[in-house]
Amino acid sequence: MLSGLLFFLSTTLLAFAPSGFPGKTPKQDQPERPKFYALKVVSEKNVQNAKDSLGAPDGRNAEILPGGELILHMENKLYPFPGMIGWSEHGYRLADSGCVVGKGEMDFGLDGWFPTKNMQGKQHYVWKPLGVSATGFCIWLEGSAGVDMIRITNPGSKSLFVDALIGYARETERR
């Protein structure tokens, strides 16, 4: 079952690989959902103007240089949205948990800091990749307790510019 889900995700996410930076332009067919944003910079390496990535999109960008990383803490937790949404020529796709607004190289990493348990049952945290789609990113870990820390890395050879990290709230979190 898990291997089937992973195969589905890998083929679907590759099929949705955008020609530009995800979150650059929202799709018209996407319903408007309550949003929240990155609240603070936790860590930065090879980043200029890191605080320009906080809050709602405003046209100011943090620049993540090649080899750099930016770790942001969100206002609220991001969760997987149950079920699939939408049908396209590539099949069903998962609902986005959020999006990164910016510009630059498509070659970037996006990870969440998830709680997990070791063999002795002791809880610790690990970075796990998020699924990137043409319209944002999704958390697909079943039973996830949510994640509020996101890491954006730039393994590319050109700068990556991040204006905002947006999370979509669950219906029960509407303000």
pLDDT band at 71 (very low <50, low <70, confident <90, very high): very high
**Domain spans, the chain:** 2-173
Report the alpha-carbon distance of residue 122 to residue 108 in Å, rounded.
Answer: 31
2-173 has which fold?
A: Jelly Rolls (2.60.120)
pTM across the whole model: 0.77
135: left (phi over 0), alpha (psi -120 to 50) or beta: alpha
pLDDT at 157 over 80: yes
CB 51 within 8 A of CB 44: no
What pLDDT sits at residue 25?
43
Q: For 22, what's the count of Cα atoms within 13 Å in the CB-facing half-sphere?
A: 24
Q: What is the mean pLDDT of the chain?
A: 78
Q: Output the pLDDT for position 140.
A: 73
- Under the banding of pLDDT at 50, 70 and 90, the label for residue 40 is very high
Question: What average pLDDT score do residues 36-61 get?
Answer: 97
**Which position has the higher pLDDT, 31 or 17?**
31
For residue 8, give the H/E element and its range.
Answer: helix 2-15
More confident residue, 115 or 155: 155
